[in-house]
Amino acid sequence: MRINDVILRTVVRFVVFIILTLAIYLFFAGHYSPGGGFIGGLVIASAFVLLYLTFDIEKVQQGIPVDFKKVAALGVFLAVGTGFGSVLFGADFLTQTAQKFHIPLLGDKELGTVMIFELGVALTVVGVVMTIIVSIAEGDGD
Amino acid sequence: MTNLIVMPLVIPILVAVLLIFLRNYRYLQRAIVVVTLVAMIVMSVMLLQLVHTEGIQRVDFGGWQPPFGILFVADPFAVLLVVIANAVTLCCMLYAFRSFSPHYERMFAYPLMLMMLAGVNGSFLTGDIFNLFVCFEVMLLASYALIALGGRAEQLRESLKYVIINIVASWLFLVAIAFLYGTIGTLNMAHIAQRVQELGPDPLITTIALFFLVVFALKGGLLLFFWLPGSYSVPPVPIAAMFAALLTKVGIYAIIRTFTLLFTTQPNVTHGLITVMAISTLIAGSLGAIAYRDIRQIAAFNVVIGVGFVLLAVGANNEAAYAGALYYMMHDMVGKAMLFLICGTMIYLTKQERYDDMSGLIHHYPLFGWMFLVVMVALTGMPPFSGFVGKVLMGQGLVASGSYISLAVGFGASVIVLYSLLRVMLHAIFGETMIADEDKVKLPKSMLLPIVALGAMSLYLGASAETLMPYVTDAARVLADSSIYIEAILGK
């Protein structure tokens, strides 16, 4: 018997974007208030999981054609890379720096290298969570 | 401040990530691994020289001063172990190039081995007890994947046990850290040491110390080694060799570090207990080493004997004993890697696992046969190989502290090591060969080379004790007198 999931499919189309917006909000909020790369990454992953639950794996992989193992690797590279970047400037490992910028429409914002670190964390979380869930769902190797 | 200290942790991680993207380029992966490890050996030797000339170095992550930030500390004890760990890993990798199947190489075996090395190096170098937990986890997560990689039934059986035991141990570790933080209010190891000394002998601290002892005993195979022979005999040979050489050493390192630096106020309880555990480990390991005929089990029980021997030094608690323990640890990393590679090669050549099913290997593979003699002599502790110096120093330390029971059991166990390996030698290496010349499995030079390299390293450690001694005595001085370490971290 085919499951009639038309409500789920319709709702998910909208909800996924709300979740992704929340994830981006949480990611940037993490600079001074609760949130950050780890939470943001988990929320992004939850949006993807919702897509996988609603549509089948092949369809989602057509839409998001990325190897999540490589996403995780890229994330680790960014996170460790920011730490390593400070070494190149002769500072202690993992030293972070921040600078105030004037961005049109948004006004004065502080941009820090810690953002890149957090992006790395977020990508790692997304990559790892998705790899684990997809491997369990597929049930075979690789 | 010198960022050289974090390189043994950061570089393997970055390279491991790079290798994930180069998944299908097997030869490029191999080349990058070799270049990386050679560069890391050079850097760690430079770091050793720096520490030797300018004293203990530290780097504060993100510029946060101790005791507030996380820091890496390079003291001679840690750096010597890092140098040897990198060198041994290089040899295991060289062996792996030949023995891994292409499929295996694509399943991220090299990145995982590098990650494990990163965790091992991080555990040696960190100066923060919570960071020690994190580095343990990095190392263990990689080892979980490596032990299960391949997915044979016995690998899954052993990895399940291994993972469960280590998760329980990690949980206990976390609980112990929470207790310690709740009592002392700091995680910086030098700061903990200072506050514990100010507090004096305190039953609460001693209880926490025993918690840590259980954790590290589980990880290092001190008395609680029931998981070890099984888990170390299932992964592929080069990975098992890395496990044998590195993983238990991290547990031993953690015991020596915590009980020389942090928990020194009630040695009659803590250090006494460690001595009893070490002696029991030696006896149980010796029984295991002579009980089995499967050479992988014999090798695994030899690892257990090594753990017990090194930790006799904590009971003696003097400079000579610590110098001996450090020297023996360096020797043991090289020796155990070599023993595991040799045993693995014997199984590869004969397709048998019991030594009484093998015979006369020396007729077909003369150099290989001699290498077995080398590893046997080195592990027993005969000059000119590396085990000798460590055992002599350890003996001096034990005599100086009057621990004659430890002395007798420790050296008795050496005889058992000799006996357990001599049996294998007489049966499998000597004796009549059963295989005709045309039927013999070819032993590739690229498999023999890492074994010979490890043998040469063992010879170097033993024969050039004169050059190494200043570094070892430096390290032992820091271990015997914790105020040097505390001064270096909090003094400036």
For chain B, say whether A87 makes contact (Cβ under 8 Å): yes
A92 located within any domain: yes
Residue in chain A closest to B12 (alpha carbons) equals: A80
Q: What residues contact B401, with CB distance under 8 A and at least 6 apart?
A: B315, B316, B317, B318, B321
Coil, helix or strand at residue B60: strand
pLDDT band at B455 (very low <50, low <70, confident <90, very high): very high
Q: Are A77 and B14 in contact (CB < 8 Å)?
A: yes
What is the pLDDT at residue B134? 96
Closest Cβ opposite residue A92 in set B1, B14, B21? B1
0.80 surpassed by pTM: yes
Q: What is the pLDDT along chain A (142 residues), one digit of tens a residue?
A: 567 788 888 999 899 999 999 999 999 887 778 888 899 999 999 999 999 888 877 888 888 888 898 999 999 999 998 888 888 888 888 888 887 788 787 777 777 888 889 999 999 999 999 999 888 887 654 4
Q: Are B10 and A80 in contact (CB < 8 Å)?
A: yes
Check pLDDT > 50 for residue B260: yes
Cross-strand partners of B357: none
Residue in chain B closest to A90 (alpha carbons) equals: B3
Coil, helix or strand at residue B59: strand
Cross-strand partners of A108: A102
How far does the CA of residue B360 sit from the closest CA of chain A (Å)? 41
Domain that holds residue B79: 3-490
Distance CA B395, CA B402 (A): 10
Q: Are A77 and B17 in contact (CB < 8 Å)?
A: yes
Q: What residues contact A118, with CB distance under 8 A and at least 6 apart?
A: A27, A30, A36, A37, A40
Residue in chain A closest to B63 (alpha carbons) equals: A92
Distance CA B376, CA B178 (A): 44
Closest Cβ opposite residue A92 in set B10, B18, B63? B63
Q: Do B394 and B309 touch, CB atoms closer than 8 A?
A: yes
For chain B, say whether A81 makes contact (Cβ under 8 Å): yes
Q: Are A94 and B61 in contact (CB < 8 Å)?
A: yes
Size of interface A-B (CB pairs under 8 A): 46
Count how many Cα atoms sit within 13 Å of the Cα of residue A70 in the half-sphere of its side chain: 6
Work out the average pLDDT over B391-400.
94
How far does the CA of residue B448 sit from the closest CA of chain A (Å)? 32
pLDDT tens digit string along B213-256?
999 999 999 988 889 988 888 999 999 999 999 999 999 999 99
Q: Are B17 and A95 in contact (CB < 8 Å)?
A: no
Domain that holds residue A51: 6-138
Q: Do B104 and B149 touch, CB atoms closer than 8 A?
A: yes
What is the pLDDT at residue A2? 65
What is the pLDDT at residue A142? 46
In the chain, the amino acid numbered B334 is: V
Q: Do A71 and A130 touch, CB atoms closer than 8 A?
A: yes
Q: Which residues of B touch A89 (CB under 8 A)?
A: none
Number of domains in chain A: 1
Mutate to test the interface with B, among A71, A86, A94 (most CBs of B within 10 A): A94
Backbone phi, then psi, for B126, in 5-degree steps? -70, 150
pLDDT tens digit string along B459-480?
999 998 889 999 999 999 999 9
In chain A, alpha helices (H):
6-29, 37-54, 57-63, 68-88, 114-138
Q: Are B20 and A94 in contact (CB < 8 Å)?
A: no
In the chain, the amino acid numbered B154 is: E
What is the pLDDT at residue A140? 54
- Percentage of the residues of chain B whose pLDDT score is greater than 70: 100
Q: Do B136 and B219 touch, CB atoms closer than 8 A?
A: yes
What is the pLDDT at residue A103? 78
DSSP state for residue B63 in the 8-state scheme: G
A125 located within any domain: yes
> Exposed, middle or buried, A10 (CB in 10 Å: 0-12/13-18/19+)?
exposed
Check pLDDT > 90 for residue B453: yes
For chain B, say whether A67 makes contact (Cβ under 8 Å): no
A1 located within any domain: no
Q: Are A93 and B59 in contact (CB < 8 Å)?
A: yes
Distance CA A13, CA B105 (A): 40
Q: Do B333 and B348 touch, CB atoms closer than 8 A?
A: no
Q: Do A81 and A1 touch, CB atoms closer than 8 A?
A: no
Chain B residues at the A interface, defined by Cβ less than 8 Å, are 1, 3, 6, 10, 13-14, 17-18, 20-21, 59-63, 72, 151
Distance CA B492, CA B476 (A): 22
- Calculate the CA dihedral of residues B232, B234, B235, B236 and round it to 10 degrees: 110
A129 located within any domain: yes
A12 located within any domain: yes
Residue with tokens 């909020």: A29
Q: Do B367 and B456 touch, CB atoms closer than 8 A?
A: no
What is the pLDDT at residue A141? 47
Q: Are B17 and A76 in contact (CB < 8 Å)?
A: yes
Strands A98-103 and A107-112: antiparallel
Q: What residues contact A10, with CB distance under 8 A and at least 6 apart?
A: none
Coil, helix or strand at residue A100: strand
Q: Which residues of A touch B155 (CB under 8 A)?
A: none
Judged by average pLDDT, the poorest of B120-134, B162-176, B438-452 is B438-452
What is the pLDDT at residue A54? 87
Distance CA B436, CA B423 (A): 24
DSSP string, B89-153: HHHHHHHHHHHS-HHHHHTTHHHHHHHHHHHHHHHHHB-BHHHHHHHHHHHHHHHHHHHHTT--H
Number of domains in chain B: 1
Query: What are the structure tokens assigned to B188, written together?
Result: 């910086």
Q: Which residues of A touch B13 (CB under 8 A)?
A: 76, 80
A64 located within any domain: yes
Distance CA A43, CA B391 (A): 56
pLDDT tens digit string along B281-340?
999 999 999 999 999 999 999 999 999 999 999 988 899 999 999 999 999 999 999 999
Q: Which residues of B touch A91 (CB under 8 A)?
A: 63
Averaged pLDDT of chain B: 92
